[in-house]
Structure 1
Amino acid sequence: MTKYNVIDLFAGCGGLSDGFKKTGMYNLLAAVEWEKAPATNLINRLETKWGIADARARVLVFDIQRTNELFSGWSDDKIYGSNQGLDKLIGDKKVDLIIGGPPCQAYSLAGRIRDENGMKDDYRNYLFESFIKVVKKYRPKAFVFENVQGMLSAKPGGIPVTKLIRKEFEEAGYIIVNDLKEHALIDFTEFGIPQKRNRVIILALRKSLFKYPEKVLFDFYHRVLPMYKEDKKSTVKDAIGDLPPLLPVDEEYKQNGRKYSHTPCEFKIPNHEPRYHSQRDIGIFKLLTEDIEQRTFNYISTEALKRLYTEKTGKTSNVHKYYVLRWNEQSNTIPAHLYKDGLRHIHPDSRQARSITVREAARLQTFDDDYEFISSTSDNYKMIGNAVPPKFSEKLALAIYKVLANGYDEYLLEVGKTYSEK
């Protein structure tokens, strides 16, 4: 079986690369991540799960915006230390695929609402330029660019980011579908992810390597990738229903310098530790979960939740602060800012009266239990929220493998799978 060589950019803790590794069809040449906590977790995962002894060499902890140094190496850097760079790491190996997606905050609708200038001046709007520089350098057969739905409407500098991206991709010799919203906006719940999460998955093909690249792309989005959809959508109960309960205690206690309001997990499941909650918040969580369990539904409207927040805290908010997960539905999106608080990710069991743990967030993101997160609780929540769910990544990897196979575009003609773009 042919194995394709991959570089993972903006790798985070490895949600994309973990899925690609699971297929056994890809070799991770290198990963680039500028934040130390997720990079440390990725290194640990590559070493302990995938047996990659030189994982510390393959994961480059560096700012991708300093692209020339990323290629040629850097030394005596106060933040990032020293490294030989991507060129020496890759050597004469051929790069078949580049995967990744720049930080999404500047594209997200929520981020633009919170920022007084709609994040038009945020440097993260332009990180795709660094991404494409790496593509131009190594000329892979294809690349995957993943981002939030908000990128479809983002206009940094007044110009649609999709227009900027398309222009850069085409100038580099790559082609993408003509309507990203119609073809490339993917509902992850259809692929067995127990969480409402829509993402733009841009597959770009190197035009010179495909006879019929437009047809290949259309077939990828409308036949190949949909092959991996699941008939039944996974729910919160499917994901976290078997984890041991963590119940409120009568008196708060300290352990290893940390304050606790709930019982610890007696089965020592990695990262299944309760967050500390005040008695006020525990009371609110119990009220909200019992309201759903008893089907009284006094607190499910936005206005009711805003009134409750004001009543309990004396503060006001333009958005409601609370949300209880529903056992038989998909979770709301697991976001990076879950590290700040868990008020919008309340466990559905009223007995537990708490927000979700790191392990529960990881399961809703489809990380396996053998992925142990080794950073601070805040960093763990953040990197999990930023990740691509590995279960979707694995299915994406399987679909892309078919597209990269020799003669795939000719095969389309032979079996009559020719499509016309809408």
Structure 2
Amino acid sequence: MLDLFSGCGGLTAGFTRAGFVSVGGVENDPFAAASYAKNFHAGENEGHFGKARDIRTLDLQELLGVDEAGIQSSVDVVVGGPPCPSFTRVGRAKLREVMDHPEAFKLDDRTTLYLHAMRVIEQTKPVAVLLENVPDVLNQGGRSVGDEMAEYLQGLGYNVSYTLINAANYGVPQTRDRFFLMAYAEELDARPCFPDPTHWVDLPRGYKSSRDVALRLLGDVNSHTYYRPQAEATPEQGPAVTAKDAIQDLPRIREHLRRGARRFDIPVETPVPAVMSDFATAMRTWPKFDNKGVVFDHVTRSLGERDLRLFAQMKPGDQYPEAHALATSLWEAGGADPARLREFVPPYDPSKFPNKWRKMEPNAPARTLMAHLGKDTYSHIHYDSSQARTITVREAARLQSFPDGFQFCGTMNPAFRQIGNAVAPLVAFALAKSMSRGIGEALSSLEAVRAS
């Protein structure tokens, strides 16, 4: 497998667990590229595979270490998630602000980076392809880039299906909706299928409406050819993994009370508690990524007195408006001294930033982790009021289903960003097993036909 726009390797983590072998990742961010190499190509060639590469100028022969004739024989499967900021509604709003153009997202060159992925697919001619993106890739201001991808691949000789998948339905402690496209070479004579959900979750309000907007263009030319709704999850499948299931077994920390640099290379012991969730056990014992009794990145940001005070008193599920109201009441109770307002009340307008802060609910999956974690982690405040803090790098990794032995290069901010950008490894694992099974069954059918 070759991983394009690989990030630190969320897709590869799932695919390698399912038996696939990485021949390299293509990633422009140097910290993420280094993480990919450390986890999947450690050893004498780590420097080669950890080099940041721009897909627009990619030299496949150099990456794979082959001549031109060897490119096709080197890669069986291509996976990847083209950068998505201009596809998301949040990203579009930011671009409009920066570029002062109502349709600036259509001018962002990241919108067309997927075409460079198609060029690599055309060069390597893999048996199968898996692409990932945000749901809004299906409705980018009235344009379905998802259908464009599907049509391009169909033109290259692939049978294509795509769907929307929520990570919580596949054992990830996070309600993360994503678009996935799977394609098989026509020679296999098979239509790609997606794995059935394994967990049920009552999705928070807003997820359905977001999906409806993303799928609004279905029914236009060719759209129905590609969309394959996943099987519906049912309560009988068992509840989704919760935030508490995901991180309760990790040690309590108090270092957010002090200033100073955070060290990733200091081991934190993770004794086995008397009661531990199946999810936590899986993260501790993931093949080749077990934690060996310690983790190395259980660190978080330092906090001021204002936020410590608020985090301790916020209720699970509270967001920024509730936090702002609580802060105002505490300021008023303390005498409402205008000179001390900022000691109590954060400065953001609660009507403009309703989701800026959120205290996680212990008995529900976390909300979507985003790359913005690299700037602040207030979107994921720990549910344990006695700790009064935001999540650590390792807790974010757990919520994204990265195993405990997975290592992140760089400092805290790049590590958070890598996690927020990644595909959840457990979702990748489910997709990889489905793809492996589909390819195997197709090849068996072909062999039976030839034998007859």
Alignment of 1:1-80 (within 5 A): 6-23=1-18, 25-48=19-42, 53-59=44-50, 61-67=52-58, 70-71=59-60, 73=62
Contact map agreement 1:220 1:403 (CA 8 A) in 2: no
> For 1:352 and 1:92, how far apart are their aligned partners in 2?
53
> For 2:345 and 2:238, how far apart are their aligned partners in 1?
42
Instruction: Report the CA distance between 1:270 and its aligned residue.
Output: 1.1
Contact map agreement 2:319 2:359 (CA 8 A) in 1: no
> For 1:336 and 1:309, how far apart are their aligned partners in 2?
27
Partner AA of 1:125 in structure 2 = T
- In structure 2, what is the equivalent of residue 164 of structure 1? 148
Higher share in strand: 1
Is it true that 1:122 corresponds to 2:100 in the alignment? no
Check 1:87–1:240 CA distance in 2 against 1; reply closer, same or farther (3 A cut): farther
Partner AA of 2:302 in structure 1 = Y
Partner AA of 2:32 in structure 1 = P
Check 1:176–1:279 CA distance in 2 against 1; reply closer, same or farther (3 A cut): same
1:203-240 Cα shifts (integer Å, max 9, x gaps): 01222x133x3xx33x4456998699963311111110
> For 2:32 and 2:323, how far apart are their aligned partners in 1?
34
SS of residue matched to 1:355: coil
> For 1:38 and 1:32, how far apart are their aligned partners in 2?
10
Is it true that 1:353 corresponds to 2:347 in the alignment? no
Instruction: Report the CA distance between 1:265 and its aligned residue.
Output: 5.7
1:280-320 Cα shifts (integer Å, max 9, x gaps): 111111121xx34xxxxxx8477544545787124424122
Partner AA of 2:16 in structure 1 = K
Contact map agreement 1:191 1:228 (CA 8 A) in 2: no
Instruction: Report the CA distance between 1:172 and its aligned residue.
Output: 1.7
Check 1:90–1:21 CA distance in 2 against 1; reply closer, same or farther (3 A cut): farther
Q: Structure 1 stretches of 5 or more lacking a match?
A: 1-5, 74-82, 293-298, 415-422
Partner AA of 1:36 in structure 2 = P
Contact map agreement 2:259 2:302 (CA 8 A) in 1: no
Alignment of 1:237-252 (within 5 A): 237-247=244-254, 252=258
Check 1:306–1:388 CA distance in 2 against 1; reply closer, same or farther (3 A cut): same
Alignment of 1:244-393 (within 5 A): 244-247=251-254, 252-254=258-260, 258=261, 269-288=295-314, 291-292=315-316, 300=318, 303-305=321-323, 307=325, 312-317=345-350, 318-320=352-354, 321-393=356-428
Instruction: Report the CA distance between 1:85 and its aligned residue.
Output: 6.6
> For 1:86 and 1:128, how far apart are their aligned partners in 2?
24
Alignment of 1:214-225 (within 5 A): 216-217=191-192, 219-220=193-194
Partner AA of 1:168 in structure 2 = Y
**Alpha-carbon RMSD:** 3.3
Identity %: 28
Is it true that 1:210 corresponds to 2:236 in the alignment? no
SS of residue matched to 2:106: coil
Equivalent pairs counted in the alignment come to 366
- In structure 2, what is the equivalent of residue 108 of structure 1? 88
Tell me which of 183, 194, 207 is aligned to 2:173.
194
- In structure 1, what is the equivalent of residue 124 of structure 2? 138
The alignment's TM-score, normalised by the length of structure 2, stands at 0.72
> For 2:375 and 2:243, how far apart are their aligned partners in 1?
22
> For 1:276 and 1:302, how far apart are their aligned partners in 2?
19
SS of residue matched to 2:114: helix
The alignment's TM-score, normalised by the length of structure 1, stands at 0.77
Check 1:55–1:21 CA distance in 2 against 1; reply closer, same or farther (3 A cut): farther
Instruction: Report the CA distance between 1:259 and its aligned residue.
Output: 8.0
- In structure 1, what is the equivalent of residue 157 of structure 2? 173
